[in-house]
Structure 1
Amino acid sequence: MSTVGPITLEPLDVDERGVRLHAWVTHPRSAFWMMQDATPAEVVADYRLVAEHPHHDAWLGRVDGEPAFLAETYDPVLAPEVGLAGLPELRPGDLGMHVLVAPPDPGTDPRPGFTRAVFAAVMAHCFRDPAVRRVVVEPDVRNERIATLNREAGFVVVRVVDLPGKQAALSFCTRADWEAAR
């Protein structure tokens, strides 16, 4: 059973959280985020662009009130920087999603169920809007950990697509598939 407390999501305040965000996205465990060599200023600049974008949002996730993860949601058709615009599989009601669980603090023990609880909270956040029919993800095909979480949540890989810097497993999760997986 999970030992994870309350999970919340709030809009990311880039100016307040830039240093922490830099530490998260450049951590070795975050290699698939493709920001390993980014400076703090570059991370802040990238997330300011997300904050200013009308169809791409960044969310700070808290567990037990403490910052613990980053999530992004985006319209896959209207957020061309992600690289999915124009794909024939996209439909009205699709919402793109990214999630990055913060690396654990040094010397702390892993919390059983932590990542799965965070992932479930992000999916619930995505489906909170009744207009969302499917959640779309495009993880690097080499990212086996996220592939497992995606499968467990009900995602189905449709095909591999070439995106900037990666081959991605274009995957969709319908509301019904997510409910069935829960």
Structure 2
Amino acid sequence: MSAAVFTRTDPALGEFSVRPVDPAADTPLLHRWVTDPKAAFWLMQDCDPATVEKEFRRIAADPHHDAFLGLHNGTPAFLIERYDPAHRELVGIHAARPGDIGMHFLTAPTGSPVHGFTRAVITTVMEMLFADPDTHRVVVEPDTRNTAVHALNKAVGFEVVRTVSLPSKDAYLSICTRDQFLATRGAC
């Protein structure tokens, strides 16, 4: 397995670390996650393991797209995709600026949710993205129906710019600057 590319400690929940996805080794786990009913907004409900592996191999080969596995205290617990919105997802919809980075995240399905866990995950994601000094804004395009993620996005500083129509969904194009994110850190 690859080494962690980012690690942070949450005072209440422990260590969160992030490593690149290994498509061959991680496919069984990722297949369970992305086909779970709670992952409906990932649009992979009917995918078989071979299709999931093919998708993560495609991402690994793409110079403008990355996938990372997030671990909580050493156990796989979340998935992150990072992309360049000038080349993926929002081409022709969002006028990407230098320093813009796009992001998706998914927490692993669980039968026993931990209070504050998903907030800690999105905080980890944002800290990882802003750890790169070249990142100035994080751009997301969540499905307009995904009310849970809208609340999380707002909590870490995202502001909705407008509603956009993408091939698979209507989405709220939202942006969070480094300063907007840092302003929320005292509210955790």
**TM-score w.r.t. length of structure 2:** 0.90
Instruction: Give the letter aligned to residue 64 of structure 1.
Output: N
Q: What's the counterpart of residue 64 of structure 1?
A: 73
Aligned equivalent of 2:63, options 50, 54, 61: 54
Alpha-carbon distance between aligned partners in 1 of 2:117 and 2:136, rounded to the nearest angstrom: 26
Q: What's the counterpart of residue 147 of structure 2?
A: 144
8 A Cα contact 1:3 1:112, kept in partner = no
Q: How does 1:69-148 map to 2 (within 5 A)?
A: 69-79=78-88, 82=89, 84-104=90-110, 106=111, 109-148=112-151
Alpha-carbon distance between aligned partners in 2 of 1:2 and 1:33, rounded to the nearest angstrom: 30
Aligned equivalent of 1:20, options 29, 45, 60: 29
8 A Cα contact 1:139 1:146, kept in partner = yes
Alpha-carbon distance between aligned partners in 1 of 2:151 and 2:72, rounded to the nearest angstrom: 22
Instruction: Give the letter aligned to residue 39 of structure 1.
Output: D
Instruction: Give the letter aligned to residue 53 of structure 1.
Output: D
Alpha-carbon distance between aligned partners in 2 of 1:115 and 1:2, rounded to the nearest angstrom: 15
8 A Cα contact 2:34 2:45, kept in partner = yes
- Unaligned stretches of 5+ in structure 2? 1-9
2:153 is paired with a residue whose SS is helix
Aligned equivalent of 1:181, options 170, 179, 184: 184
Q: Which has the higher contact order (CA 8 A, sep 6+)?
A: 1
Alpha-carbon distance between aligned partners in 1 of 2:11 and 2:44, rounded to the nearest angstrom: 30
Cα drift, residue 102 of structure 1:
0.4
Where has structure 1 moved over 6 Å in runs of 4 or more? none
- 2:178 counterpart of 1:167: no
Alpha-carbon distance between aligned partners in 2 of 1:90 and 1:157, rounded to the nearest angstrom: 15
Q: How does 1:3-14 map to 2 (within 5 A)?
A: 3-14=12-23
Cα drift, residue 88 of structure 1:
4.5
For residues 144 and 88 of structure 1, do their structure 2 counterparts lie closer, same or farther at Cα, with a shift above 3 Å needed?
closer
Instruction: Give the letter aligned to residue 76 of structure 2.
Output: P
8 A Cα contact 2:20 2:67, kept in partner = yes
Q: What's the counterpart of residue 31 of structure 1?
A: 40
Counting matched residue pairs gives 176
8 A Cα contact 1:75 1:95, kept in partner = yes
